[in-house]
Structure 1
Amino acid sequence: MEHVTLPAAHPLASGQTTESPLVRAYQGERGDRLPVWFMRQAGRSLPEYRELRVGTRMLDACLDPALASEITLQPVRRHHVDAGIFFSDIVVPLKLIGVDVEIVPGRGPVFAQAVRTGADAAELVKIDPATLDSVIDPITDAVGRTVAELAHLGPDSSAVPLIGFAGAPFTLAAYLVEGGPSKDHIAARTLMHADPSAWRALMDWTADVSGRFLRAQVMAGASAAQLFDSWAGGLSLADYEEHVAPASARALSHVHEISYTVRTHDEGADPYRERRHVPLVHFGVGTGELLAAMRDVGADVVGVDYRIPLDEANRRLGGDVPLQGNIDPALLFAPWPVLESHVREVVARGRTAPAHVVNLGHGVAPETDPDVLTRVVELVHELGA
């Protein structure tokens, strides 16, 4: 991809988030504050979110800039986490470019037409992913509003960074082929092997859709980007490396060449400037056997789910990759002494890695007590002091 420099007013380029605990950890540095945020923290468990969402469908909320921004900000204000995660959904870019999809309450994304054959795939990829650029304004508007508000919500009124996100190509493609949620992704894995050329075309297409979606969020003000591969855990390592990894690398390439410069120290009248790129995180569910392959697609940070201890993940990754994770969401419902012990263990195991961002090993369950999340944040900050 063509190299792009962030605008001077961007939070990374201006220095607003450059020294934030999150960005420093994503770049492999340990500071005096252990950063923490939660996947699916935007909404779900918060009463203020449920009140705001009354009468509004999920995708309509995602495409309302004021609403999406407010939902993103709610958990930052309440929990004092070290990052906002942009409120959206992985199918939003598909919706924007004209794919007929709705999010059905209690079920998830459902497509009007499943992509089951090579002909189906050929028809879908006629939609040029570049058309996303002309309809992305609701997203960039929401990001801009959010970043402006996050500028004063950090410790000592510093800026809290925003993380942009998108669904990884395999997860998007699997949804498209299955027509909706699936437990085993049989149809997707069948197409992968039965018609490799159709599968490759579909994966290249979803990679460019997701990549452009990520890129737009970063250019609008996000200080990091995360690629979610929710369904990759259903793949063998061989299938991932051959049929999925190239597309994930292609998606991340849309952001990887975006850079900014920081002044690291002064030498007389001539400050020394260092060029850096926007941090990229890759997370998958049930992907303990794929961690190295997921790093190798171009990720700076690897998210680890709750199924594998962080010190073991660090060993598998060679000991030189910042990690994110991996509190078990189920333990948020356990008695506090049980949860506290678990959080302490996660933090201790995370110390084996070059840097660590504390998170859940999956997302916040809707029934989670928000006060428990706030208490976890306080504990993590105490442990990292």
Structure 2
Amino acid sequence: MDQSFAPMKNDLIVRAAWGQKVERPPMWVMRQAGRYLPEYHEAKGKRDFFECCRDPEVASTLTLQPIERFAGLVDAAIIFSDILVIPQALGMTVEMIDKKGPHFPQPLLTPTDGQYADVLKKDVDVAKELDYVYKAITLTRTKLAGRVPLIGFCGAPWTLFCYMVGNTKLSKECKTWIYKYPEETKALLQKTAEVCVEYLCLQVKAGAQLLQVFESSGAELSPASFKQFSGPYLAYIAKHVPLRLKELGLEPVPLIVFPKGQWYALDAVCDMGYNVVGLDWLHDPAEVVKVVGDRKIVIQGNADPGVLYGSHASITEVVQNMVEGFGWAGRKQGWIVNLGHGITPFVNPEDLRFFFEEVHRLTKTA
């Protein structure tokens, strides 16, 4: 580590992610730095979304907002960035359209498309192309001053691929590729996986203390297609990140995978080498515990984000279901509290506070 950071005051999530017994389950939520917070809009101002990502000072400010608002309740920060910085590093143009989301004006159309060859052959200088992310991580880790650990992340190769081919709601684009051009698809997935490994490891060098891989588009794949187009590349990342960290002279960090919509692959994902498996809200906690069995896998999740639109009684019920289903009282390990997907823009932050407070209350009495 080139930087000298303050000692940790709260390392709960790191200990939990390594499978240790802990005094209470740590908590954070995906997209916790974002549009549901009024202070986010104030700090963002009129800047473009990616402009915020590329400005280390702004990205750091946005990352810290939920840590400050929910001080004493949230146990990790996740760097404010986006999974699509990797396609950008690969030479593709990505725009963030207000109220619509990301847009690729020139997606990959076919393997004979010249852009496909350019992306595949590009020698990506990850340290240079994504330097702004590393600067934001180092700055944020310094500003955190040990309050909570900092999570780095990337999109999984399959999820990034879906965006790169301009996937629409009908999934026509990604399905055309896997069923018409399967080998060319795999070549691009492998290229992306290699960039992901380097990107993640340099985040650790910059100061990230845990890493999460987002397979957000996992539900696009059937079980058979998962075995070809998602699973092998998730496994590649899990295997090669520790090896690359060792080459760089860095200590290992816990690895988290979030295979959204891939409920059928839970057993396989638990054997890939990740320390933590994130669950979407389609999983029943008690059933997950049965599948995991005696494997040293930590589970992360998995409250339905939609419950934050509901009553406080509903939030309490969902938290209670997780506490009981994940067997917290009898284990005191193996669970990191999170939502089953990212928090949405219209949630009242005070309802998220109540969610956190209920986890504290109900796990204390469990």
Equivalent positions of 1:44-123 (< 5 A) are 44-80=35-71, 81-120=74-113, 121-123=116-118
- CA shift, 1:381, in A, is 2.2
Equivalent positions of 1:1-385 (< 5 A) are 7=1, 16=8, 20-80=11-71, 81-120=74-113, 121-129=116-124, 131-153=125-147, 160-177=148-165, 179-180=166-167, 182-257=168-243, 277-320=252-295, 321-351=297-327, 354-385=333-364
SS in 2 for 1:283: strand
Distance across 1 between alignment mates of 2:103 and 2:138: 29
Change (3 A) 1:298 1:184: farther
Contact kept in structure 1, 2:90 and 2:119, CA below 8 Å: no
- CA shift, 1:163, in A, is 0.6
Change (3 A) 1:106 1:294: farther
1:359 alignment partner AA: N
SS in 1 for 2:214: strand
TM-score by structure 1 length? Answer: 0.86
Question: Number of aligned pairs?
Answer: 353
Change (3 A) 1:127 1:8: closer
SS in 1 for 2:112: helix
Distance across 1 between alignment mates of 2:280 and 2:193: 23
Change (3 A) 1:248 1:152: closer
- CA shift, 1:140, in A, is 0.9
2:347 alignment partner AA: T
Identity %: 36
Change (3 A) 1:171 1:10: farther
Contact kept in structure 1, 2:87 and 2:160, CA below 8 Å: no
Distance across 1 between alignment mates of 2:356 and 2:335: 14
State the Cα deviation string for residues 275-299 of structure 1 (Å, max 9, x = none): 9721000002212111123333331
Distance across 2 between alignment mates of 1:358 and 1:344: 12
Structure 1, unaligned stretches of length 5 or more? 1-6, 154-159, 261-274
SS in 1 for 2:19: coil
The alignment yields a C-alpha RMSD, in angstroms, of: 2.1
SS in 1 for 2:134: helix
- CA shift, 1:104, in A, is 1.2
- CA shift, 1:15, in A, is 6.1
SS in 2 for 1:122: helix
Distance across 1 between alignment mates of 2:99 and 2:259: 22
TM-score by structure 2 length? Answer: 0.90
Q: Greater strand percent: which structure?
A: 1
State the Cα deviation string for residues 121-162 of structure 1 (Å, max 9, x = none): 323212123x22222221111001111122243xxxxxx101
State the Cα deviation string for residues 150-194 of structure 1 (Å, max 9, x = none): 2243xxxxxx101101100000011111x15x3342321221132
Change (3 A) 1:244 1:138: same
2:108 alignment partner AA: V
Contact kept in structure 1, 2:255 and 2:275, CA below 8 Å: yes
1:239 alignment partner AA: S
Structure 2, unaligned stretches of length 5 or more? none
SS in 2 for 1:119: coil
Contact kept in structure 2, 1:211 and 1:253, CA below 8 Å: no
